[in-house]
Structure formats: structure tokens, C-alpha cells
Amino acid sequence: MNRQTGLIVIAALILSACSSMPSHQPQAQKAAPVLESGSTPGEAGGGYLAGDGPGNDIPANLDSIPDAVPRAEPLHPYANRPYVALGRTYTPLTVPGNFKERGIASWYGKKFHGQRTSSGEVYDMFGMTAAHPTLPIPSYARVTNLANGKSVVVRINDRGPFMHDRIIDLSYAAAYKLGLINNGSGEVEVDSIVPGQDTPPVATSTVQAEPLPPAAPPPAAAPAPAPVATTTVAASGNVYLQLGAFRSEQGAESFLAKMRSALGDTGKQLSLFRKSGLVRVHLGPYASKDAASGSAAQLQGKLGFKPLVSLH
């Protein structure tokens, strides 16, 4: 073997060894998710992300799955705190009912099936549940498909959606019963339900309940000539129970009328009080925080929710 031939053989052996060594090059980044239906999710679009969808093991009895049955449940200790998602702050409601909105609903399926929801419960895509940005967890809502009039009752046990201006994410079963599966989304109406009521209450505005600080600067006082007032009243240095909070005075007055009917003559004044841009429905005044807390516990059974103690 001459010198030139020897060099060729050595070079070939080196190349063979290099080809058998494991590669340490970084893997290429995965492409952005595509929609299996080939459409883009938007306000009226359908489809679902790759990896999600209905899956292959769909029960044959989806039509017979019963709606969720509203019942009084304690609020989750953590899932109802204010939170931030995609740069936006959300303040969950703390009282069911008196909430109605219209918008686009979507649904989520096998990609999240078996995973934990915001309530800590395991998501079952074949259960009658839903995710909502601000409704109390847990609570119940009636969802109506405005295109066909179909309606279901779901249990809110998760947070979301936060993209594409969707207002609610339904389980696969709920979306199926509403006729939303093929389109992937659709316009719906969402009504929060108070357990024990046959139908969801109708409100003229969206409730925006929020935690109250322990004390607030005393506003100007106004006289209250009657035990029940329908005008905005402010008291100074007194203790009240907050029954609800609304963005509009019309919604607050509608709720105040319902509370007047539900409570009857309590010996306390029902009034509207403006604070932090909201119109709040208050009952009082009470002589002390202890007295207000005792009354709140008594009213819980009658109203289905426990009023908040408010100092102002």
C-alpha cells in the first residue's frame, strides 16, 4: 500500500466514525399549532387546535347525558381571587345569579381531558361543565345557543377562555348538546343560576363584585326618610351588608327590588351606595360588625348566598 492509498483509507475510516456518532444539534422548533378543521378561530369561526378535538372514544349516549343540577356549594378558597391572564386583570364574582351576557362560546376536548381545572377537579369532556373568566367557582349557568334555541345547564369549575373574544369554554358534551361541535363555536347567551330557582334571574347589567377593603373614606351622609329606599343613599361611620354590586344604576335598582321582595320587612334599610365606580346594594345600618356578621349568617339560608360586611 503506497502512501497516497493509506491516506485515503484513513480518511474513509474517520468519515465512517463521524457518521455513527450521535448528533447534538438542537432540534428544530415546532411549527405553530394549526387548526384541524382548516379554519381560523375568530369571533364566528370554528375548528379546534391540533391535538385537541373530540378524540376517538366518544360515548354513544351523549344525548342522554343529563344537565348539571344546581345546588348550593361553598366557593373555592383560591379560584375566586382576582387574577391576571394575558396581561388582563379579572375579578371573579362572589355571588351567583344576576349575570347575563351574550357572546361567542367555544369548547375544549381531549387535549385537556383528565387534567386539573382551576377548581382542582379533573376535567371530564363528557361532563356538563364549562370554563368562564369571572363566574363564581363553583356555580351554575344556563347556556343557550341563539342560532337554534337549544339550552343546557352547566357547572362552572374552570377559568377561561382568554383569547378571540370568547365568553365561555364548554365541555365537549355541552357543546354537542347545543349543536356547536361542527362549527367549533357559536353565539350563545349565558345566564348565571341561583340554586333553588326554577329559571335564571334576568338582569339588565353585568354584576362586578369585588373584595371590599376593611375601611373606606366616609362619604357625605344623606337622610333616609323610608325604611326601604330606591335612591342612592350614603351613610357615614356605619356598618352595612353588601348584597350585590353593579356597573349600572338600572341593574342595581332591579336587584334592589328583588331583594325587597325576598327579604320583606327586616327593620333595616335597603339602599344604593356608589363606590369605586360601582353601584352597590346595601342593607343596614348595623350597630357593629358582629351584629352584621350574625345577620349575614341568618340571611344566607334565605338568599342562597352570604352577604359581605361593608364599612363606610
Whether residue 41 has pLDDT greater than 50: no
Domain harbouring 290, CATH code: 3.30.70.1070
Domain annotation covers residue 186: yes
Distance of alpha carbon 91 from alpha carbon 103, whole angstroms: 19
Domain annotation covers residue 6: no
Same domain for 68 and 171, yes or no, is yes
Distance from the first to the final alpha carbon of the chain: 103
Whether residue 65 has pLDDT greater than 70: yes
Residue 173, pLDDT score: 93
Instruction: Count CB-CB contacts under 10 A for residue 244.
Output: 27
Whether residue 248 has pLDDT greater than 90: no
The boundaries of the domain holding residue 264 are: 228-311
Domain annotation covers residue 276: yes
Domain annotation covers residue 219: no
Same domain for 76 and 156, yes or no, is yes
Distance of alpha carbon 140 from alpha carbon 153, whole angstroms: 7
Domain annotation covers residue 12: no
204/141: higher pLDDT: 141
Instruction: Count CB-CB contacts under 10 A for residue 131.
Output: 27
Domain annotation covers residue 259: yes
Identity of the amino acid at 164: H
Same domain for 69 and 189, yes or no, is yes
Same domain for 70 and 182, yes or no, is yes
| Banded model confidence at residue 37, pLDDT cuts 50, 70, 90 | very low
Q: Average pLDDT of 37-60?
A: 49
Whether the full predicted model's pTM is greater than 0.75, yes or no, is no
Domain harbouring 75, CATH code: 2.40.40.10
Contacts of 195 (CB under 8 A, 6+ apart): 70, 71, 72, 96, 140, 304
Domain annotation covers residue 15: no
Q: What is the pLDDT of residues 152-188, one digit of tens each?
A: 999 999 999 988 789 999 999 999 999 998 888 899 9
Same domain for 184 and 74, yes or no, is yes
Domain annotation covers residue 85: yes
Distance of alpha carbon 277 from alpha carbon 252, whole angstroms: 13
Same domain for 184 and 235, yes or no, is no
Smallest CA-to-CA distance from 160 within 135, 184, 138 is with 135
